[in-house]
Amino acid sequence: MSMNSPFKSDILKGEVALLTGGGSGIGLEISTQFGKHGASIAIMGRRKNVIDDAVSALQSLGITAVGFEGDVRKREDAQRVVEATVKHFGKLDILVNAAAGNFLVAAEDLSPNGFKTVMDIDTVGTFTMCHEALKYLKKDAPGRNSSSGGFILNISATSHYTASWYQIHVSAAKAAVDALTRNLALEWGTDYDIRVNGIAPGPIGGTAGMSKLVPQEINNKIKDYMPLYKVGDKWDIAMAAVYLASDAGKYINGMTMPVDGGLWLSRPRHLPKDGVKQLSRTVEKRSRAAPTGVPTSKL
Ligand code: COA
Mutate to test the pocket of ligand 1, among 117, 120, 122 (most ligand atoms within 8 A of CB): 117
Q: What is the pLDDT of residues 153-164, one digit of tens each?
A: 999 999 999 999
Report residue 150's pLDDT band, with 50, 70 and 90 as the boundaries.
very high
User: Who wins on pLDDT, 186 or 146?
Assistant: 186
Q: What is the pLDDT of residues 117-137, one digit of tens each?
A: 999 999 999 999 999 999 999
Choose the CATH number for 16-268 among 3.30.1490.190, 3.20.20.150, 3.40.50.720, 3.30.9.30.
Answer: 3.40.50.720
Is the pLDDT at 299 greater than 50? The verdict is: no
The Cα 121–Cα 42 span in angstroms is 19
User: Who wins on pLDDT, 217 or 143?
Assistant: 143
pLDDT for 228: 78
Mutate to test the pocket of ligand 1, among 24, 72, 103, 155 (most ligand atoms within 8 A of CB): 103
Neighbours of 53 (CB within 10 A): 15
pLDDT for 222: 66
Q: What is the pLDDT of residues 79-107, one digit of tens each?
A: 999 999 999 999 999 999 999 999 999 99
* Spacing, Cα 121 to ligand 1 middle (Å): 10
Q: Whose CA is nearest to atom 9 of ligand 1?
A: 114
What global pTM score does this model have?
Answer: 0.92
Q: What is the pLDDT of residues 7-49, one digit of tens each?
A: 999 999 999 999 999 999 999 999 999 999 999 999 999 999 9
* Spacing, Cα 265 to ligand 1 middle (Å): 29
The per-residue pLDDT of the chain, averaged, comes to 92
User: What residue ranges line ligand 1, CB within 6 angstroms?
Assistant: 100-103, 105, 110-111, 113-114, 117, 208-209, 212
CATH 3.40.50.720 placement within the chain: 16-268
* Spacing, Cα 283 to ligand 1 middle (Å): 54
